[in-house]
Amino acid sequence: MAAKRSPKDPLVRVSKAMTYVLRHNADKLGVPIDTAGFVSADDLLASEPMKRAGATLEMMIRAVDSDSKGRFQLDEPIDGHSCIRVRATQGHSMKAVSAESMMTLITDPDVELPELAIHGTFPANLDPIFEKGLLRMSRQHVHMLPRADAGTLRTGCSVLCAVDLRTAVRDGIPVFRSSNGYLLSPGEGESGCIPPRYIEAALSRTSGAVLRGGACSLGGDGIIRRDPLRGAAGRAGDRSAASGGGETGTGTGIGIGIGTGTGTGTGTGTGTGTETRTGTQTGTRTGTGTGTGIAPLGSVSIAVPVT
């Protein structure tokens, strides 16, 4: 993994200035921008944020080429400085930009999408997310990833939400793939959110422990997968208030033997039973076991097995 750059690095300053202009403020700053998000390099470099960052054309191109998240894209072919154009690949909040025109609409979710997509967040956001869903906020889309790559997750995100985008697409929610591999959705209808019913679980980014929701696991490849032993009914239960299933089993029993005869006698006994659990926590348990004992004439022997 590439070392994190210092905020004092000139390329970091240039990259932040580019983000400020290309995603959110080109129109307010008077920088001409087309519906596909492109601006000319000359116009971008003439903007006040880029001037304050001390940006040059060479620095701008280096910022594009060295960005591990693929935030920016140069228009090709590059044929002289006056012809260079650049845009942000996603994350736009300006209505002047049709972000979806630069992305690919997902039409076959079972082929084009992972089993579970990932949205990086913070522990304090879990309650709102599981109550209201994933909100796009001031952006045009909710941002997700197919895998938890260190170079693509937002810095500091310690929680990974597992999102069932396949079902969301089948239910009519649009999902797009950007040129740098992000999965983006405007949400359901006018709500601007991915509803909580599509959020299967929340996991710790560092340990992989499930913090909320159903049985999922975070692999070493950064992909979140469902527990393969669970079926569709189990997954549906995870997304709602799960009700308990039933179990049967065996337990420990008490053997009672009655000895008869002259002098001493031996007796054996067997207790049998079944274990049944209802709901999620309640249940009654009985068991099976065998016991033997030595009894005087006419007495009763009770033997308790160890296991």
Nearest to 186 by CA among 250, 143, 248, 146: 143
In single-letter form, the type of residue at position 167 comes to T
* Structure confidence at residue 54 (pLDDT): 94
Specify the pTM.
0.56
Neighbours of 166 (CB within 10 A): 21
Tens of pLDDT along 123-179? 999 999 999 999 988 777 898 999 987 667 777 889 999 999 999 999 999 999 988
Q: Do the bridges between strand 142-144 and strand 183-185 make them parallel or antiparallel, or are there none, so unpaired? A: antiparallel
DSSP letter string, 109-135 = HHHHS-SSEEEEE-GGGHHHHHHH-EE
Q: Do the bridges between strand 210-213 and strand 199-204 make them parallel or antiparallel, or are there none, so unpaired? A: antiparallel
Q: Do the bridges between strand 193-194 and strand 176-177 make them parallel or antiparallel, or are there none, so unpaired? A: unpaired
CA–CA separation, 302 and 138 (whole Å):
74
* Structure confidence at residue 66 (pLDDT): 87
What is the band of 6 on the pLDDT scale with cuts at 50, 70, 90? Answer: low
Nearest to 163 by CA among 233, 105, 214, 112: 214
* Structure confidence at residue 269 (pLDDT): 44
* Structure confidence at residue 230 (pLDDT): 53
Residue 253 has which token pair? 């029993």
Q: What percent of the chain has pLDDT over 70?
A: 68
Nearest to 87 by CA among 45, 37, 16: 37
Q: What percent of the chain has pLDDT over 90?
A: 43
Neighbouring-strand partners of residue 268: 292
CB 205 within 8 A of CB 148: yes
Helix or strand holding residue 249 (H, E): strand 247-249
